[in-house]
Amino acid sequence: MKKASKRLELQVIVSLWLALLAGIYFPEMVQQISWIGDIFMKLLKTFLAPLLLFSILSAILSLGDMKKLWSIGLRTFWYYMLTTTLAISLSLLLMNILKPGSWVNFEFENYEAAEVTTLSFSWFLLSLIPDNIVESFVTLNAMQIVTMWIIFWVALIVSAKREEILHVKSIVETINSAILTFISWVILLTPIWVFAIVSWVVAESGIESIIKLLPFAWVSLLALTLHACVTLTAIWYFVWKFNPWKYFLKVKEAILVAFSTSSSSATMWVSMRVARENAKLSDEVVKFTFPIGTTVNMDGTALYQAWAAIFVAQVIGIDLSIMQQITVVIMIILASIWAAWVPGAGIVILTTVFLSIWLPIEAIGLILAIDRLLDMFRTAVNVWGDLLTAKVIDGYYLKHIDDGKTEKLKLKVITEKNS
């Protein structure tokens, strides 16, 4: 399994480089094969809603105790909120120091208006509850699926007998296993899918548009890199005492897939697999943290939203006050929670941020040319944040909830193999 995983990682890396060259030198050709990437995304998303449902249920049934569930769930949520806030703060700090918006010159009046989206706290609460549960599956509304089905499964544990719960757990794990088997078949051709998707993105963006927005692009990448490699890793290293680099080497396959697809949802099952098989995280933690992380944890997206808002304000000559920038932080935290799983959804969310600080919606057109390309990098950061948080929650689980049972079992298996 490890040899196959390493071989796939190498193939994906080679495919990325070939896609970059093909997108630059043969843009018309790659436009003709973009449908291959569309097939890949459709196949990966076919069973995503059921995977969310059964992964959460399996984790809840394994934990059993409501006290344990509450303890892990609350910590998972607050870790995600912490990293999202740090990402936005880093973005605002760099923007106020470097001011890349003053480096470029655009004619603002030529840009088309984007779709206007409003957001209030009451609307946010209402968005958690579907009109009917089937609709949330059809529209693939991750937030509604996670929220309502957690409540339902908790009710199941409270009301059902132990024998009934064990029977349900057996059925759930069987279905979950079948879904993962299907997706594993799809992933065998990942290098081909990656080539089709990435080459199309490069061809669609165009070198001219990328060059024109280089100040925005390189400082955006700097912010994403600092958050992924410095902010997150430093916190986990000094506070939670584990080596993020060694951990990265074990889970890098998921980050490569996230970069290639620009979709946290398409990467969720890969993240769960490498966390369980390569990093040896507890099965209960993996099943619980990744569905929630894929839904609410958007470090890269949140960082980019703040970055884009301040950049556009600088380009068109609007000096945002400290209070307006704090408003940006609050709005982006709320918006990132209900962010759609699909590539490019950040642009729609950005309209909410623009409205909250009185920026013209039409100005979003300034960054549309390069948004899809940067989406690949910020999705990779999102997934890296999911993986790090799962590692932290796993340490807490083994120490305070599992009472070391999992570690003892692993040690027993290793001892038996060596003997």
Identity at 253, one-letter amino acid code: E
Positive or negative, the CA dihedral 364, 366, 372, 377 is negative
The secondary structure of 275-330 as a DSSP string is: HHHTS---HHHHHHHHHHHHHH--HHHHHHHHHHHHHHHHHTT----HHHHHHHHH
Q: How far is CA 57 from CA 134, 172, 230, 273, 279, in A?
A: 17, 7, 35, 17, 22
Which of 49, 259, 238 minimizes the C-alpha distance to 143?
Answer: 49
Which of 349, 341, 346, 352 minimizes the C-alpha distance to 371?
Answer: 346
H helix count then E strand count, the chain: 21, 0
Region of residue 99 (phi > 0: left; psi between -120 and 50: alpha; otherwise: beta):
left
With beta carbons less than 8 A apart as the criterion, state whether 94 and 310 touch: no
Predicted pLDDT of residue 341: 47
With beta carbons less than 8 A apart as the criterion, state whether 15 and 184 touch: no
- Which residue blocks in 188-243 are alpha helix, DSSP H? 190-205, 207-212, 214-226, 232-238
Predicted pLDDT of residue 387: 93
Q: Along the 419 residues of the chain, how does pLDDT read in single tens digits?
A: 455 555 666 777 788 788 878 888 888 888 788 788 788 777 777 777 787 777 777 777 766 666 777 778 788 888 888 888 888 888 888 888 888 777 766 554 444 433 434 445 666 677 778 888 788 777 767 667 777 777 887 787 778 787 887 888 788 888 878 887 887 787 777 788 778 877 887 787 666 666 767 777 888 888 899 999 988 888 877 877 778 888 999 999 899 888 887 778 778 888 988 999 899 998 888 888 888 887 777 788 888 878 788 888 887 777 777 777 777 777 676 665 555 444 445 565 676 677 666 677 667 766 766 777 788 888 899 899 999 989 988 888 888 776 555 554 454 444 444 44
Dihedrals φ, ψ of 344, to 5°? Answer: 85, 0
Which of 119, 110, 120 minimizes the C-alpha distance to 360?
Answer: 110
Predicted pLDDT of residue 349: 63
DSSP 116: P
CATH number of the domain within which 371 lies? 1.10.3860.10
Predicted pLDDT of residue 116: 38
Cβ of 74: how many Cβ atoms within 10 Å? 10
Which of 384, 392, 75 minimizes the C-alpha distance to 250?
Answer: 384
Extract the tokens encoding 44. Answer: 């990966």
Cβ of 228: how many Cβ atoms within 10 Å? 25
Q: From CA 178, how far away is CA 184, in angstroms rounded?
A: 10
Identity at 411, one-letter amino acid code: L
With beta carbons less than 8 A apart as the criterion, state whether 350 and 301 touch: no
Dihedrals φ, ψ of 191, to 5°? Answer: -55, -40
The number of domains in the chain is: 1
Extract the tokens encoding 292. Answer: 């929630």
Instruction: Give pTM, 2 decimals.
Output: 0.72
Q: From CA 318, how far away is CA 311, in angstroms rounded?
A: 10
Q: From CA 310, how far away is CA 88, in angstroms rounded?
A: 11
With beta carbons less than 8 A apart as the criterion, state whether 354 and 335 touch: no
Extract the tokens encoding 265. Answer: 């949802």
Q: How far is CA 14 from CA 30, 111, 184, 289, 320, in A?
A: 17, 37, 20, 31, 43
Provide the residue range defining the domain that includes 138: 2-418
